[in-house]
Amino acid sequence: MKPRPRRPNPRPPPGPPVELEIQAVGGEGDGLAEGPVFVPFVLPGERVRVQGSGERRELLEVLRPSAERVEPPCPHFFACGGCALQHWAHAPYLAWKVERLRTTLARQHIDTEFLPPYATEPGTRRRVTLHARRGSREAARLGYKARKSWDLVDIAVCPISAPAIQAAIPALKRLAAPLFEHPKSAPSLHVTLTDTGLDIDITGVEAKSGGLSADARMQVAERAAEADFARVTLAGEVAYQARSALVRLGPATVALPPGAFLQATRGAEAAMTEFVAKSAAGATRIADLYCGVGTFTFRLAEIAPVHAADFAPEAVAALGAVLASLPGLHAVTPEARDLVRRPMLAEELKKTDVVVFDPPRAGAAEQTAQLARSAVPRVIGVSCNPATFARDARTLIDAGFRLEAVMPVDQFLWSPHIELVGVFQR
């Protein structure tokens, strides 16, 4: 097997070709050989010929392929920087992700039970960011950044994405074409598949020159209408709207604010929500911190009253707007609050017996310090960054909590990223 990487620049880097034995896969998905030397698109046990210098080399040829090597399903794989591991069979790929998570926790001397991981499937990603570059007047170039480069890989398909997003790629290229009136514009299209259609928030259009002209805005609106998109916004400002961008979250239907955070796949959201709700069973009062638009809030409100807090006021407002239409739930108290500068204090949590927190990648150091001081008996942490989760978990464990179980979540298919839900009990 001799894969020929389809790189934007097919010329190999300077340096003599050498042969290497690949020992493992590193944290970013590249193969690791003695040196250390990192090589993309290779697997443990393979013998490869590479070229370049220093720690990072480029693959020329696989001399002895692994039995775990498979044909990548995407024609853009070797050039596109979006995926790193399409060439690895699913079972060992997933096992590697879980082991990385176990190792990350072990660095903080944390041992726990690992539940079976949730693994997302191809064609289920409902939220993607596509970068646009100037093309013709009718269609921009649109795709992902090239591997380790600012170059753009103009895509025709994307096997991780939901079929509705893949089918819309030509229309999205047309939508982006009028965005290049200013030479400094480098637009990104943040595309979310909602229950009512595609919702696109566009950022990166040069604003200092006055933004888009009225003519360009008209073209954007016309092309959005042609494609039957639900809504198109320019950095949050509505440029076209046929209908609200609605999503179902447990028993609630929420109108998404422009650019709002949503879990990347519906299946992962359902698996995490179910696990969180099961772990919160029996609570009498719950705090849902970093609640967003209510991913967990509404399911938790089926169990007990919920105080829901998040730093994004527009997300909290969207959550609060639907509460009157949900009479069967326990009371929900929404609060717009910066939980870094103003975390929920231990004293405010006196009557709370379950806290759920789902912070950004930076983690929740300030909030977990307050949880450590509190008398809350059960904490459920949701994280997209195992390193900051492990740091925050150490704070809770040092205060008398035990990490009872972790559910790994792979919703960023074929990337090195792994997410998790962890349950702590005093």
Would you say 280 and 356 are in contact if contact means Cβ atoms under 8 Å apart? yes
Question: C-alpha distances in angstroms, 91 versus 32, 99, 201, 213, 414?
Answer: 20, 12, 36, 51, 12
- Phi, psi (deg, nearest 5) at residue 227: -85, -5
Of 406, 384, 122, nearest to 262 by C-alpha is 384
SS3 366: helix
Q: Biggest alpha carbon distance in the chain?
A: 71
CA distance 247 to 196: 8
Buried b (16+ CB within 10 A) or exposed e, 364-387: bebbbbbbbebebebbbbbbbbbe
Torsion, CA 242, CA 243, CA 244, CA 248, rounded to 10: -130
Written as one letter, the residue type at 16 is: P
Find the length of the chain: 426
Is 83 annotated as catalytic?
A: no
3-state SS track over 124-158:
CECEEEEEEECCCCCCCEEEEEECCCCCEEECCCC
Of 193, 220, 194, nearest to 205 by C-alpha is 220
- Select which of 80, 83, 291, 384 is catalytic: 384
CA distance 241 to 229: 8
CA distance 80 to 85: 12
Would you say 402 and 415 are in contact if contact means Cβ atoms under 8 Å apart? no
- Phi, psi (deg, nearest 5) at residue 392: -70, -35
SS3 32: strand
Of 236, 303, 265, 287, nearest to 384 by C-alpha is 265
SS3 66: coil
CA distance 13 to 111: 43
The residues annotated with a catalytic role in the active site are: 384
